Amino acid sequence: MSAPVSPLERDERWARVALAFLLEPGNHGIARSLAAEGAVATLAALRRRAGSPERYVRLADLDLEGLARQVRDAGARVLVPGDPEWPPGVDRHETPPTCLFVRGDPDLAAMAERAVAVVGSRAASPYGLRVAAELGEGLAGRGWSVVSGAAYGIDAAAHRGALAAEGTTVAVLACGVDVAYPKAHHRLLEAIAGTGSVVSEVPPGAVPLRGRFLARNRLIALLARATVVVEASLRSGSLSTAREARTHHLPVGAVPGPVSSATSAGCHELLRETDAVLVTDTADVAELAARVGDELADPRRPAPRPTDALEPLEYAVWAAAPVRQRASADRLAVLSGSDPARVPAALAVLEAMGLLEGEGGGWRKTASSLVTGGG
């Protein structure tokens, strides 16, 4: 009954994709196992423990080659820990994402280093929508990326404000990066992917489930230097984003509003009951986010590496290449989740930079490409 085990499962990157497909985000056991043994071993153990494949419905459904195609078809790439583009902030969480699926060109780690999460109620007031749009536009105008959840209301207003200022904005989804949710935001998500990034820890094709929204909220908080809640009712999910930020010692801002407004009650509660800072405009938010600037950025950034200058696609191809045996260009396209048509150009760059060596149609990493430099 079970599908044949894909050779991709022996690759750390794709084993992580398999785990992201098989398990919901926030699994502590998997997080521990990944840290201790890596993804290939964790996945193998999962298969062994499964006994009969029927016990793990999703294991029977696992089609890694199909997922790799979906990643490519979505114009997405897979990030795993250790990739230069991997945003270090997410590793603050006890259950960091197994991998990240990313659509859009900008370097995710660089973007997160200068990003602010702007979140709030779906059922926002005209006042809240205006403030969110102004903050999105103002932050983008000052060179900050705006991270949000692409939901109705505050999220969308913040994204649109950033887009209006021709800034970068990051939509973190509770579904696959190729799934438009909500459907009415299909064009908004395309616009975000066009200049910014659409990010998810669940694989392409995945639908938004309740638990995935909560997990997604932690990523919104951890992909930014600070989280600002523009409007939130007392039960708004955006308060969980603020909680994640606070838990991980990231500053939280809240926009006040009329005390008679139910959609400001959550903000007022944050300001009364937590150390959230009252913010009224872009300058306040930038000040809040800048506070943690230096102590945050550096300790978690790896030392410079020869691969730091690579474009995301080039890096993905380099990272997919073996160290000893060689892999074909087609194989590297599959392993890296890249468009096969774009791989030859990337290989040419990588060879010119001395990061890959090619022979007889096969490619492998150079020894010097693996060195962690000092400056």
Residues engaged in binding a second copy (CB under 8 A): 127, 130-131, 255-260, 264-265, 268, 271-272, 277-281, 284
Residue 160: CB minimum distance to a second copy, A: 19
β-bridge pairing 100-103 and 356-359: unpaired
Q: How far is the CB of 288 from a second copy (least distance, A)?
A: 10
Q: For residue 374, what is the DSSP state?
A: -
Task: Look up residue 268 and give its two tokens.
Answer: 């007022």
Q: Which is nearer to a second copy, 208 or 256 (CB)?
A: 256
CA trace torsion 31, 29, 203, 48 (10° rounding): 120
Facing residues of 229 across strands? 119, 254
Pairing of β 197-200 and β 145-148: unpaired
Q: And the tokens for 326?
A: 């060689």
CA–CA–CA angle 153, 127, 181 (5° rounding): 5
Question: In the complex with a second copy, which residue's Cβ is closer, 223 or 255?
Answer: 255
Considering beta carbons, is residue 167 or 266 the nearer one to a second copy? 266
Question: Is the Cβ of residue 116 or residue 310 nearer to a second copy in the bound state?
Answer: 116
Rounded least distance, CB 153 to a second copy, Å: 17
- The CA–CA distances, whole Å, from 194 to 68, 104, 146, 167, 171 equal 21, 6, 15, 11, 12
C-alpha–C-alpha distance, residues 172 and 220, integer Å: 6
Q: Are the beta carbons of 352 and 367 closer than 8 angstroms?
A: no
- CB-wise, 104 or 253, nearer to a second copy? 253
Find the shortest distance in angstroms from Cβ 254 to a second copy: 9
Q: Residue 73: helix, strand or coil by DSSP?
A: helix
Instruction: For 74, list phi and psi in degrees, rounded to 5.
Output: -80, 0
Nearer to a second copy, 131 or 319 (CB): 131
Pick 127 or 213: Cβ nearer a second copy: 127
Which residue's CB is nearer to a second copy, number 257 or number 312?
Answer: 257
Peptide bond into 302 cis (omega under 30): no
Provide, rounded to whole angstroms, the least separation between the CB of residue 268 and a second copy: 5
CB of 256 to a second copy, least distance (A): 3
CB of 130 to a second copy, least distance (A): 8
DSSP state of 212: H
Angle subtended at Cα 226 by Cα 223 and Cα 228, rounded to the nearest 5 degrees? 110
Expressed in percent and rounded to 5, the helix, strand and coil fractions of the chain are 50, 10, 35
Cβ–Cβ under 8 Å, residues 47 and 5: yes
Rounded to the nearest whole angstrom, what is the least distance from the CB of residue 219 to a second copy in the complex? 27
- Intra-chain end-to-end CA distance of the chain, in Å: 53
Instruction: State the residue for tokens 């800072």.
Output: 277
Task: State which residue, 228 or 296, has the beta carbon closest to a second copy.
Answer: 228
Token pair recorded at residue 190:
């395309």
Q: Which is nearer to a second copy, 69 or 246 (CB)?
A: 246
Q: Give the nearest distance from C-beta 199 to a second copy in angstroms.
A: 29
